[in-house]
Amino acid sequence: MDNGYVHVYTGNGKGKTTAALGLAVRAAGAEKKVFIAQFVKSMEYSELKALTFLKDFIDVTLYGHGCFVSKDPDKEDILAAQEGLKEIKNILMSQKYDIVILDEITIAIFYNLLSTEDVLSILNEKPRNVELILTGRYAPQEIIDQADLVTEMKEIKHYYTQGVLSREGIDK
């Protein structure tokens, strides 16, 4: 890969993580190495189980500590995200991976686990040949401005509003 771009998948609609994971699967099909960092999340969703079949090409690490979205983040949540970001810098500089996905990183910014400036430094320091994908709602304008590709997922209609909870293999 001669030039790696920065993608941002944001918005209130469903499909941000799904789009990033789809890209990871496509890359694995092209025998590219992918590292997926999931911020905020600490649960093994079905997609992570499926990615174990592609373990020769895709590595996944969770940088979450429980689920705090319904409460304020605690020190452990903040520490998990900040340690994760330090590790990501090392992973990017190692150039072991063609693609690095920072799933829910903009949520980590929104909940003050990380600063926009810290994430911008990752964008500025990434090696030229590494593709970098950031996902999550509430992407800061500064990150959108610096990205090469930005997709906003817009919710038009969702069965969740009618009381349908996350379904195994479809939503989680």
CB 55 within 8 A of CB 49: no
Q: pLDDT tens digits, the chain, 172 residues: what are they?
A: 578 999 999 999 999 999 999 999 999 999 999 999 999 876 677 888 899 999 999 999 999 876 655 567 888 888 999 999 999 999 999 999 999 999 999 999 999 999 999 999 999 999 999 999 999 999 999 999 999 999 999 988 988 778 888 887 777 7
In 116-163, DSSP assigns E strands to: 131-135, 149-152
Interhelix angle 116-125/75-94, rounded to 10 degrees, is 10
Looking at residue 82, what is its pLDDT? Answer: 94
Q: Coil, strand, or helix at residue 82?
A: helix
Q: Could you give the CA distance from residue 66 to residue 162 in angstroms, rounded to a whole number?
A: 26
In 20-66, DSSP assigns E strands to: 34-39, 58-63
* Chain centre to alpha carbon of residue 11: 13
Give the chain's domains with CATH numbers: 6-162 (3.40.50.300)
Residue from 108, 139, 150, 111 nearest 19 by CA: 150
Looking at residue 137, what is its pLDDT? Answer: 96
The helix (H) or strand (E) run that includes residue 8 is strand 6-10
CB 172 within 8 A of CB 38: no
Looking at residue 160, what is its pLDDT? Answer: 78
Looking at residue 161, what is its pLDDT? Answer: 79
Conformational region of residue 169, where left means phi above 0, alpha means psi within -120 to 50, and beta covers everything else: left
